[in-house]
Amino acid sequence: MAAPAAVLAAPPAFDVEAATQRYLDTLSPAQKAKSDAYFEGGYWLLLWGVLYDIAVAGVFLGLGLSARIRGWLRGIRSENLRNLLYAAVYLLLAAVLSFPWTVYTGFFREHQYGLSNQTFGAWFSEALIGLALSVVIGSLLIMLLYLAIRRVGKNWWLWGTGLTVIFLIIGVFLAPIFISPLFNKYTPLPPSPIQESILSMARANLVPATNVYLVDASRQSKRISANVSGLGSTIRISLNDNLLKRSTPAEIQGVMGHELGHYVLNHIVKGLIFFSLLVLLGFVLVNWAFQRLVARYGARWGIAGLADIGGLPLLLVLFSVYSFLITPATNTIVRVSEIEADQFGLNAARQPDGFASVAMKLSEYRKISPGPWEEIIFFDHPSGHTRVRTAMQWKAEHLGNKQ
């Protein structure tokens, strides 16, 4: 029996792999080598960063600097005030000792790979603002942490976790309104088809936003980005001006659909829960390691015990080592959320080609095709290859040959 003419005339099925490869081929060998080198260099920065932290702690502990700072503040009656001042002095001096590393990773390396638009003066002024925030917020948290140590003793790690989580929640709530504007100017995006398409997606997905904000990120970087930040009344949809200038409407819709997905899927709240559990585990392990190191080296370092503020350098460097060791776990938590947001964004925006082309633009500074274990360990977002293939798979299943 002859096949129906409609079947014989049907166009060939959409080839996901071929479509994916066509996008990957838009990245030249030179561009791929450059982005691979930049991103792979970041793996070593993780290791060298924690080693630098250990060296800084060694200066304070091994040379007796921590004990001397504690001694200078001994005349202050209030222990809370002494601890607050010690924390501020330590954070400032540690930042000074870390400055060569900070300026290399944050300024020179970004210029080396052509990703930064900042002069050194502009970068340094922002670094000072960041340092001021770190000293003020960090000193307050440290003072409260040592107050908990004195009040509750061996259960300090539980209270420390609670304090840290409270600070995290407050930070997420306040960041869009009070912290982010310290570094960038946020202006309402003028009425336009782009603005309306973003707000339409937001309304369709019950995101309570009435405006879209444009961020002047181009004065700092060439990177493209967008986000939905804040909690409750501070929720804000933002996209940076690089995204607006360098992208088509389809690409912008693809990105913003993804960002709206983070809100709709409660990724901020889920992330706070997961990271709270990691903070709890961190306090338990740091407490264990601190007690054993002080039992062995405390006399040499001049540390009397956990409640001694002079042990702060050891406490913080142990958290730094812990953060380094759980990098695969933290990356996986974030990456899973990003994968979910990718799927949400494709369904919300229905712009698979726009999303795929943005993934290629992001691959200007993210390795495009890592190995499976490399992606699991080092990537906090899906790789460009993964994202392009996901978009093409979605296109095959939902649009077929319509595009």
CA dist 139 and 191 (Å) reads 43
Predicted confidence at residue 129, as pLDDT, reads 98
Task: Give the model confidence (pLDDT) of 372-396 as tens digits.
Answer: 999 999 999 999 999 999 999 999 9
> In the annotation, is 259 catalytic?
yes
Task: Give the model confidence (pLDDT) of 189-233 as tens digits.
Answer: 999 999 999 999 999 999 988 889 999 999 999 999 999 898 888
* 399 vs 195 pLDDT, higher one: 195
Share of the chain above pLDDT 90, in %: 91
Predicted confidence at residue 232, as pLDDT, reads 83
Of 259, 353, 364, 375, catalytic: 259
CA dist 164 and 302 (Å) reads 27
Quick one: tokens of 172?
A: 């997420």
Task: Give the model confidence (pLDDT) of 43-85 as tens digits.
Answer: 999 999 999 999 999 999 999 999 999 999 999 999 999 999 9
Residues 6+ apart with CB under 8 A from 302: 64, 66, 67, 70, 310
Instruction: Check pLDDT > 80 for residue 314.
Output: yes
CA dist 36 and 39 (Å) reads 5
Predicted confidence at residue 154, as pLDDT, reads 86
Quick one: tokens of 137?
A: 């917020």
Task: Give the model confidence (pLDDT) of 320-377 as tens digits.
Answer: 999 999 999 999 999 999 999 999 999 999 999 999 999 999 999 999 999 999 999 9
The rounded mean pLDDT for the chain is 94
* 92 vs 402 pLDDT, higher one: 92
CA dist 82 and 73 (Å) reads 6
Instruction: Check pLDDT > 60 for residue 303.
Output: yes
Predicted confidence at residue 1, as pLDDT, reads 45
Q: Binding site for Zn(2+), residues?
A: 258, 262, 338
Q: Binding site, residues?
A: 258, 262, 338
* 234 vs 94 pLDDT, higher one: 94
The answer to whether 271 and 362 have CB atoms below 8 angstroms apart is no
Predicted confidence at residue 261, as pLDDT, reads 96
Share of the chain above pLDDT 70, in %: 96
Predicted confidence at residue 233, as pLDDT, reads 85
In the chain, domain spans: 31-186+260-396
Average pLDDT over residues 83-100: 97
> In the annotation, is 342 catalytic?
yes
Tokens 């809370």 sit on residue: 80
Average pLDDT over residues 277-289: 97
pLDDT bucket at 402, cuts 50 / 70 / 90: low
CA dist 255 and 359 (Å) reads 9
pLDDT bucket at 14, cuts 50 / 70 / 90: confident
Residues 6+ apart with CB under 8 A from 89: 69
pLDDT bucket at 7, cuts 50 / 70 / 90: very low
Average pLDDT over residues 278-290: 97
Instruction: Check pLDDT > 90 for residue 178.
Output: yes
CA dist 150 and 142 (Å) reads 12
C-alpha pair distances (Å), 75 with each of 70, 79, 303, 313, 336: 10, 10, 18, 21, 51
Of 342, 353, 364, 375, catalytic: 342
Q: Which of 12-21, 99-108, 263-272 has the lowest mean pLDDT?
A: 12-21
Main-chain phi, psi angles of 237, to 5 degrees: -95, 125
